[in-house]
């Protein structure tokens, strides 16, 4: 048996083959257990600095890349202990098969190590996001996402440079010089992408809007779900997801509806010319009293007889609401509309041809006239 194990096959003993492939088989079979053990050890260090983080969150993020990194690394190092068979030695484009395989193994290690590092960046970002949620400033949340993506891009580029250095024996300085020339040409070809990248920096530092804000840009109205390096994703009121290039977000007029301090509503009711003056006066009085009773949502108001001509009598009702949700505003709008309808019926007033106009303005109350949008 000992003689069999010492038998030389392709420049290596059977014993060496069994040891190497036994190691590889063990690692592949128990890679999850090994990675969980290593992750648990890393978590002990992590817990010293961030006591609020859950172990399951940490393990879930890094277990897969860590398992592959450990498996590939040990497998490559184990195979490297074998003597490369002379019979398999060939020269391909000036490189031996042994050299090519060694470089291929090194590149695999770099790839999975890069994946592992980017997963750690995701984990650190997760911790910072949890802390940022405890503050009122939304810019923290936005900057964390931005720099998380930015660092992952940098780490990926470094990984590619290391692969070029290890796999092709190229000097990184020479590569960077070549890339700068190529980069200049690509910048001209990919001008729009570069402009979007620069625009993303403008958005993050100028802070015209944040993730979660409800805004209108061009013909798109919705909630900002993600601000990336190239584009901003907006969930519209129809629940569709629209991707808007960051350059367009910077160059266009963005109406951040989440930052409005009040809503201005204007109602013009036109009644027939023969309507009784007493009824008009009663309508104005009761409407004003109703709005006075609801100052918790309608802060300022005015009700007045605005026009009188052959087509009818116009009563204008204008009020500003406090900053409230759309649900609260709609509830008040419904209550107010029902009140007006009952009051008009009780006073036996008849709407003139054309009815009434009800408009809502999403601007500051100190602003002048603005374009209105029908709300009913």
Domain residue ranges in the chain: 2-189, 196-259, 263-374
Phi, psi torsion values for 349, nearest 5 degrees:
-85, 145
pTM reported for the whole predicted model = 0.52
What is the rounded CA–CA span in Å between residue 275 and residue 309?
A: 12
Could you report the per-residue pLDDT of 167-200, keeping only the tens digit for each?
Answer: 777 666 665 565 555 555 555 545 677 777 788 8
Q: Does domain 263-374 have CATH number 3.30.70.1130?
A: yes
Task: Look at residue 265 in the predicted model and tell me its pLDDT.
Answer: 82
pLDDT for res 235: 92
Residues 6+ apart with CB under 8 A from 362: 255, 257, 260, 263, 370, 373
- Across the chain, mean pLDDT equals 79
Average pLDDT over residues 243-266: 85
Between 152-161, 258-267, 312-321, the lowest mean confidence (pLDDT) is in 258-267
Per-residue pLDDT at 104: 87
Q: Does pLDDT of 327 surpass 90?
A: no
Between 41 and 3, the more confident residue is 41
CA distance 8 to 80: 17
For 196-259, give the CATH class: mainly beta
Q: Report the percentage of the chain scoring pLDDT > 90.
A: 12
- State the Cα–Cα distance between residues 345 and 366, nearest whole angstrom: 35
- Model confidence pLDDT, tens digit, residues 305-324: 988 888 889 999 988 887 77
- Joined together, the tokens standing for residue 288 give 């004003």
Residue 360, pLDDT score = 47
| Contact criterion met (CB below 8 Å) for 167 and 246 | no
């Amino acid at each position: 048996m000992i003689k069999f194990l010492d038998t030389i096959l392709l420049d290596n003993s059977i014993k060496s083959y069994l040891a190497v492939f036994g190691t590889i088989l063990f690692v592949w079979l128990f890679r999850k257990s090994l990675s969980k053990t290593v992750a648990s050890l890393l978590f002990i260090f992590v817990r010293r600095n961030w006591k609020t983080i859950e172990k399951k969150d940490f393990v879930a993020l890094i277990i897969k890349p860590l398992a592959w990194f450990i498996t590939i690394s040990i497998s490559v190092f184990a195979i490297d202990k074998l003597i490369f068979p002379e019979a398999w030695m060939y020269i391909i484009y000036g490189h031996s098969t042994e050299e090519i395989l060694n470089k291929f193994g090194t590149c695999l290690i770099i790839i999975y190590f890069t994946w592992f590092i980017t997963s750690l960046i995701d984990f650190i970002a997760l911790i910072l996001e949890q802390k940022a949620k405890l503050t009122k400033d939304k810019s923290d949340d936005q900057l964390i996402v931005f720099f998380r993506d930015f660092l992952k891009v940098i780490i990926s580029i470094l990984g590619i440079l290391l692969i070029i250095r290890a796999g092709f024996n190229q000097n990184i300085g020479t590569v960077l010089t070549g890339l700068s020339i190529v980069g200049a040409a690509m910048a001209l070809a990919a001008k729009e992408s570069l402009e979007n990248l620069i625009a993303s920096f403008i958005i993050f530092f100028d802070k015209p809007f944040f993730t979660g804000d409800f805004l209108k840009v061009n013909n798109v109205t919705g909630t900002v779900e993600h601000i990336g390096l190239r584009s901003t994703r907006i969930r519209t009121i129809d629940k569709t997801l629209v991707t808007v290039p960051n350059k367009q977000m910077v160059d266009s007029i963005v109406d951040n509806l989440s930052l409005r301090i009040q809503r201005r509503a204007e109602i013009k009711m036109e009644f027939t010319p023969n309507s009784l003056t007493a009824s008009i006066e009663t309508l104005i009085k009761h409407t004003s009293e109703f709005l006075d009773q609801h100052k918790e949502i309608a802060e300022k108001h005015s009700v007045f007889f605005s026009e009188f001509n052959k087509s009818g009598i116009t009563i204008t009702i204008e009020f500003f609401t406090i900053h409230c949700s759309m649900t609260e505003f709609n509830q008040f709008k419904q209550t107010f509309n029902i009140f007006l309808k009952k009051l008009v019926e009780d006073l036996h007033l008849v709407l003139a041809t054309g009815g009434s106009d009800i408009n809502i303005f999403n601007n500051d109350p100190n602003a002048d006239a603005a374009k209105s949008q029908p709300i009913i």
